[in-house]
């Protein structure tokens, strides 16, 4: 079952982060996406694909405040990730991985009680709408390789190194 898209004052904005420019999509319901797009165009395309019937306004000032809260103060603002029950279970498991540590796709599958669903877990991790706050960057392959990351392996490496400090 999918949650409702952002209903109350949906907006998006851009801000600097320790990992490059980020785009934060939010409403009064919380943050529904945090991405590291290559361009304004790719960010807006992503927003339109994720939330096809929602009219967003741009609010860079609030995005900068949220980014400061997340990356400078280390606070975790209210989130509103939109996904299936299975995706929500995976994303909740990701949030239990301590900062600076990693786990594997298989361990996440075990954690949600679906040990044979490793590929489905990987797909759910890849669909994570809220990068960094839902820490999909903390998941690596069983062989110790970094695996993939939608925003690039360099970004994933930077996040892991930053968290270890």
Catalytic residue among 22, 23, 32, 136: 136
What token pair was written down for 21? 């420019």
Spatial CB neighbours of 20, under 8 Å, sequence gap ≥ 6: 36, 155
Q: What are phi and psi of 8, to 5 degrees?
A: -105, 105
**32 counts as catalytic:** no
Structure-token match 């960057």, residue found: 137
Nearest CA to 54 out of 3, 11, 1 is that of: 11
Residues belonging to the active site? 136
């Amino acid at each position: 079952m999918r949650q409702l898209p952002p209903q109350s004052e949906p907006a998006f904005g851009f801000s600097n982060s320790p990992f490059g420019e980020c785009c934060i999509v939010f409403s009064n319901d919380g943050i529904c996406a945090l991405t590291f797009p290559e361009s304004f165009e790719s960010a807006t395309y992503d927003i339109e694909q994720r939330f096809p019937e929602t009219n967003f306004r741009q609010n860079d000032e609030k995005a900068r405040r949220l980014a400061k809260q997340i990356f400078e103060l280390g606070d975790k603002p209210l989130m509103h990730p939109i996904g299936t029950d299975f995706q929500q279970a995976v994303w909740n498991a990701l949030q239990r991985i301590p900062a600076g540590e990693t786990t594997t796709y298989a361990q996440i599958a075990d954690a949600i009680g679906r040990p044979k669903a490793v590929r489905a877990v990987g797909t759910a991790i890849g669909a994570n709408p809220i990068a960094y706050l839902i820490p999909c960057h903390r998941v690596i392959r069983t062989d110790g390789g970094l695996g993939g990351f939608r925003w690039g392996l360099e970004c994933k490496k930077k996040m892991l190194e930053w968290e270890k400090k």
